[in-house]
Homo-oligomer: A and B are copies of this chain.
Amino acid sequence: MSEFDVVAGEEDLIRGYLAPLAAGCPGAFGLAEDCAVLTPQAGEDLVFTTDAIAEAVHFLADDAPDDIAWKALAVNVSDLVAKGAKPVGYLMSLAFPEAPTRAWMQAFAGGLAEAQQRFGLVLMGGDTDRRPAAPLSITIMAVGRVPSGRMLRRGGARPADRLYVTGSLGDAALGLQIRRQTRAALAWPLTGVERDFLARRYLRPEPRTGLCDILLGHAEAAMDISDGLAKDLDRLCRASVVSAEVHVERLPLSLPARTVLAACPEWVEAPLSGGDDYEILAVVARERTAAFEAAAQDAGIAVTQIGACGGGAGVTLRRSDGQTLQLTNTGYEHF
Q: Mark A28-72, 1 if CB is under 8 A from B, else 0.
A: 010011111111101011111111101011100000000000000
B333 touches A37 (CB 8 A): no
Complex: how many Å from CA A127 to CA B141? 10
Flag if B34 contacts A79 (CB, 8 Å). yes
Q: Report A's interface with B, CB cutoff 8 A.
A: 9-10, 13, 27, 29, 32-40, 42, 44-52, 54, 56-58, 79-80, 82-83, 85, 91-93, 95-96, 99, 124-135, 137, 139, 141, 143-144, 146, 148-149, 151, 153-155, 223-224, 239, 333-335
Contact of A127 with B48 at beta-carbon distance under 8 Å, contacts A29-B153, A224-B34 already known: no
Q: Which residues of B contact A149 (CB under 8 A)?
A: 39
A80 neighbours in B (Cβ, 8 Å): 35
B124 close to A35 (CB less than 8 A):
no
Minimal beta-carbon separation of A214 from chain B (angstroms): 18
Nearest Cβ distance between residue A230 and chain B, in whole angstroms?
A: 16
B42:A335 contact, CB within 8 angstroms = no
Contact among B34, B133, B144, B154 for A33, CB-based, below 8 A: B154
20 A-B interface contacts by CB (under 8 A): A10-B335, A33-B153, A34-B79, A35-B80, A35-B85, A37-B151, A39-B149, A40-B44, A40-B45, A46-B46, A48-B124, A50-B126, A50-B141, A54-B95, A54-B129, A54-B131, A58-B129, A95-B137, A131-B135, A137-B137
Given contacts A47-B37, A153-B33, contact A52 B13 (CB under 8 A): no
Contacts of A48 in B (CB 8 A): 35-38, 91, 124-125, 141, 143
Instruction: Give A253 to B129 CA distance when docked, in angstroms.
Output: 29
Known: A35-B144, A40-B45. 18 other contacts (CB 8 A): A33-B154, A34-B83, A36-B47, A38-B45, A39-B148, A40-B40, A42-B42, A50-B127, A51-B93, A52-B93, A52-B127, A54-B95, A57-B130, A58-B129, A93-B139, A99-B335, A130-B334, A133-B135
